[in-house]
Amino acid sequence: MIGNTRRFPIYGYLGAVIIAVSEILLVRGHPVARAFFTPLVWTGYILLVDAAVAARKGVSALSSRRREFLISLPLSILCWYVFEGVNLLLENWSYHSLPENTAARWLGYAWSYATIFPAIFVTAEFIESFIGPRLRGRKNINIGAGTERTFLIVGFLLFVLTLIFPSPYLCPLPWISVLLWFEGLNDRLSTGSFAGMFRRGDYSLFVSLIISGAVCGILWEFWNYWAGTKWQYHVPYLPDVKIFEMPVLGYLGFMPFALECYLMYRLFRFLSPWDLDEDVLGRPWKPQLTFDRSWTSPH
């Protein structure tokens, strides 16, 4: 509960220092800051925002669910490589000014990708601490078996279509397909879906993740714009109308991306060998090996 507050954890101050020092060193042209600016500032951001969550709620991923936080790091890397694999075909973005040293380059990749899930999740938990109570216990929406089955099938087919007919013009499809595919699959396995939350009248995490995706998306592009090692986009839709390096329409993708990050995390966490009572966001974990009743109910 929100009332169980405590003092701001010391690692939050460390996070603020990491961001500030990284910014200063980047301005001064320090080679380490230029090469690793993105993972540095996001590490600082995660520490800072998680500390804010802990101070506000009394619990957080780093302070109370540390094992789950650590497990989310390799899952973040694994899941991002799904999109990197698709990008090999679509070539929608590329990386520039990478370290010449192979070990340093792969360290930068792994470190950067490992911050994706934590950044989205700590931001979502912070946002949910404000808006969550007003979005729980609302009128439920009973998304039935037919709808979720359609999500699964359509999402999978769109993903396959992207692989069979790769084109830069299909760049929205991976983000749409993964969201639909994993939503349907998770609901099928009863391992955590937004439809399951809607059936309980709980919209808090869904909305919080959407806002988190928008916030993190803006910060990703803001910090990337100034970084020495950075990514650039190659998309055919309004390519010259940009905010930082991102074509303006691309910002619409960050919101569904945050949703699918959570769905991918829940599924891969379900498939992992470690038991848990709650997930990295503190949500109850009650995976079932039987299918959700909504898939067989005539209603």
Stretch (H or E) spanning 126:
helix 116-131
Q: Which pTM does this prediction carry? A: 0.91
Per-residue pLDDT reduced to its tens digit, 55-103: 999 999 999 999 999 999 999 999 999 999 999 999 999 999 999 999 9
Instruction: Supply the range of the domain harboring residue 64.
Output: 10-134+206-295
Please indicate, yes or no, if residue 243 is contained in any of the structural domains: yes
User: How far is it, in rounded angstroms, from Cα 87 to Cα 281?
Assistant: 29
Strands 230-233 and 242-243: unpaired
Please indicate, yes or no, if residue 4 is contained in any of the structural domains: no
Pick from 211, 189, 153, 201: nearest CA to 263: 189
pLDDT in tens, the chain (299 residues): 444 457 899 999 999 999 999 999 999 999 999 999 999 999 999 999 999 999 999 999 999 999 999 999 999 999 999 999 999 999 999 999 999 999 999 999 999 999 999 999 999 999 999 999 999 989 988 888 788 889 999 999 999 999 999 998 998 999 999 999 999 999 988 888 999 999 999 999 999 999 999 999 999 999 999 999 999 999 888 888 999 989 999 999 999 999 999 999 999 988 888 877 889 999 887 654 444 444 444 33
Please indicate, yes or no, if residue 290 is contained in any of the structural domains: yes
* 249 token code pair: 């329409």
- CB neighbour class for 11 (10 Å; exposed up to 12, middle 13-18, buried from 19): middle
Please indicate, yes or no, if residue 197 is contained in any of the structural domains: no
Please indicate, yes or no, if residue 52 is contained in any of the structural domains: yes
Please indicate, yes or no, if residue 225 is contained in any of the structural domains: yes
Pick from 283, 209, 261, 275: nearest CA to 72: 261
Q: 216 and 120 in contact (C-beta within 8 Å)?
A: yes
Domain count, the chain: 1
